[in-house]
Amino acid sequence: MEDREISQAVIGRLPRYFRYLGELKDQGIERVSSQELSDIMRVTASQIRQDLNNFGGFGQQGYGYNVVYLYDEIGKILGLHKEHNLIIVGAGHLGQALVNYMNFERRGFIFRGIFDIDERIQGTQIRGITVRPMEEMEAFVRGNDIDIAVLTIPKTGAVAVAEKLVSCGIKGFWNFAHVDLHVPDNIQVENVHLSDSLMKLSYNILSHA
């Protein structure tokens, strides 16, 4: 499987396939054609076939896709059969909201540690996880097989924190700080820039007014 040749646009669509297949599975539907999937997902059947062909196809002429099989396979492609150990840096409102969201844990993303610079909240707990001082972050990452760091801190601190975490062997960042992280090529970054998203919505409202 030549993963690196698969575009980020295709990768970005996989979770959506996974979501729709999960719903079909929950409804007890056993198989689905690319045309049926096309109708409910509102993308073309040819795009569905093209996207899935990147990973070897999965469909059978005249049968379509086996829902449970395709759901499981896409889950494996997305790495959801493995557990990820996460820390979150920044225990403000957004950090707390993410730690409290149970669905991530169901998918194998387990919050192991929470870190914050604010002494007043250090030692308190969020969903049973103690908020620790920043000074303990590096040893914790090294000692607990942490592979993903979630950054929910202001942009001023984010770059320096990211550099420290790279030196501790972190593999990926889920970055909510409003800054671009420049990390080595082998480190993955997924940005959630909320302000950018809201500005794009504003543009689209204005341009369709």
CB of 135 to a second copy, least distance (A): 26
Task: Indicate whether 69 belongs to the interface with a second copy (CB under 8 A).
Answer: no
CB atoms within 10 A of CB 171: 14
Binds a second copy by CB under 8 A, chosen from 44, 57, 92, 163: 92
Residue closer to a second copy by CB (options 9, 135) is 9
Task: Indicate whether 172 belongs to the interface with a second copy (CB under 8 A).
Answer: yes
CB of 169 to a second copy, least distance (A): 12
Tokens of 63: 């049968």
Task: Indicate whether 143 belongs to the interface with a second copy (CB under 8 A).
Answer: no
Q: With contacts defined by CB under 8 A, how many residues of the chain interact with a second copy?
A: 61
CB of 63 to a second copy, least distance (A): 26
Q: Tell me the helices (H) and strands (E) count for the chain, helix number first.
A: 9, 9
Task: Indicate whether 27 belongs to the interface with a second copy (CB under 8 A).
Answer: no
Stretch that binds a second copy, among 13-21, 29-37, 110-118, 160-168 (CB under 8 A): 13-21
Binds a second copy by CB under 8 A, chosen from 28, 62, 160, 207: 207
CA distances (Å), 196 to each of 143, 178, 203, in order? 35, 9, 11
Taking 3-state DSSP, the helix, strand and coil percentages for the chain, each rounded to the nearest 5, stand at 50, 20, 35
Binds a second copy by CB under 8 A, chosen from 52, 88, 89, 98: 98
Binds a second copy by CB under 8 A, chosen from 25, 31, 49, 107: 107
Alpha-helical regions (H) of 85-193: 93-100, 102-106, 137-143, 155-167
Task: Indicate whether 101 belongs to the interface with a second copy (CB under 8 A).
Answer: yes
Closest CA to 17 of 47, 29, 190, 97: 47
Tokens of 107: 């998918």
- Between CA 94 and CA 48 the distance in angstroms is 34
Q: Are 39 and 64 in contact, with CB atoms under 8 Å apart?
A: no
Binds a second copy by CB under 8 A, chosen from 28, 61, 120, 206: 206
- Between CA 132 and CA 146 the distance in angstroms is 15
Question: What is the residue type of 89?
Answer: V
Contacts with a second copy by CB under 8 A lie at 3-4, 6, 8, 11-12, 14-16, 18-19, 41-42, 77-80, 82, 84, 92-94, 96-98, 100-101, 103-104, 107, 109, 147-148, 171-174, 178, 180, 182, 186, 188, 190, 192-209
